[in-house]
Structure 1
């Protein structure tokens, strides 16, 4: 954790615990008080956004993954966080920025205008919102477009507003194809693109793959890169498929188009491979179908990126989620086996599924069952 001169680690930890307790009770007033009291005591807006609200939101995700809170509670908590961010953004600054200096702005020049948006299909908007507010606190003019921005709408907005740069956010690797389309479209009108979010990998490897002009691991790094100025593309990029020659085998396209059929087939075959499914309720069967659909989606994303690690990371994470629900570990292995049988004409897909299966067999079984959702 980064510690600044105006904020102690103990103070940040205490504020996080106050905020967490308020969110557990879904007490919006108490959540706002926790953040505002720290702000009044001298904690910077940037520190509160990135060292308090951000980590607490990550904890919310961890609680959902462990099966200790449900989707509705997670949505309620996220909504409270979003309103607290909005209220914090309108409070007057009481001190210098987190970096210890005034927002960087060259004498006699206007602040740079940045458009911040989530790519098409991406609904996890809080990381982009945090970046937008950090940029505003550093003196940028920001157009924050929020979640799920279709690329044509993004381009129309950019034509109308005169942005200097674009920051795109994506949390799920299944959004990489739409992120690629957005990056290419923005660069085609002569604007540089900075990307960020878990979708691009912890080291930004997929940002490089998609040809983005920059990648940042967090909002502070993103703000610094934008302040220094991203390089504007010299010429419109080529067709994105030409930059990813592995897509010529059509495996990504065919798996994507077969998503519904593959999901139904795997669910049907699992009823024979996993005897416990005979006792499933309608809701459990529905959730099983949702899980299989996600597996197909991540297989497609791994084919798009040509990276089996993307798929293995997802299936091992999924194994933990299913374990928290009390689902037998062999059910996921069986699902990969069934899906692999359907991919006999697709060598890359089979290799990725095999890698996922190997990763699952290396996961030790828990000594005691996890909590059921």
Structure 2
């Protein structure tokens, strides 16, 4: 049997892409001259006055953004890639009994993705969801035929509920991010992105919750030395565990945050951490506030005219508002600037939730 490291390479991501092509969409890459101009304009001293960068000259980077729109993926999120890859690999496993089903724990997007992938292979899907999950994501998961069990919001509570189902049903666990097949499937989004843009990308930035998308992106870019990879997180109530762990050298194992980026409320998994930090395939981590996430989200709605959820836009928010990131770009390349790939991870947000986010 191949070791975990042997399963986590660029070649593994390429193989995953070939396997799941019949089941997924190649999502579009969009650009916006207006957003490029905004990202390449210094923030005002007033806008920085209540931040950690107050009193410092605003950074003045040049950024050209390329948006990989996984909000147009099946089930409305990149998670379909990893779920289909995991199911297809599972079907190839000797002795796999499809009647026992599969089980996972997820706040929404992986729940929907696994439910869809399992349904298309006539495999029962058992989903553990936190009781605080977005109602629209619960409804969507049910629509794919899954059986839902509700749990507490923390990772240990979700894992315990999933283990009970495994003990009772004999179902196979397909975790939301901490598995080589999931990671390689998620990396196919960046693999597509690199082939879709007409210029070499200087960097790619993705949201980071459990780290499946970020670590998969790092694998996809691992043999493109000119393309660096960065992670983006909310800072609210310690949701920036990936960033804090990355710069302290110690993975943080628990997160309790009610950030509006509900898909990013989980700690970075062990296997993603091994890619992100231990193998140093990710070049840095950055965080943004709730207000910055909402501002980026509003910008996408008003200028790109596409539906995104709060978790999806943290990378764009970093490019627009995080002065550490912006100054890094300015100081490293000056006026030449960067072509930056920005992965929009999904668009599963209800109209009611949108109204609550943007009510005056």
Q: Which has the larger radius of gyration?
A: 1
Q: Same fold (TM over 0.5)?
A: no
More strand by share: 2
Structure ranking higher on relative contact order (CA contacts 8 Å, 6+ apart):
2
TM-score, reference length from structure 2: 0.29
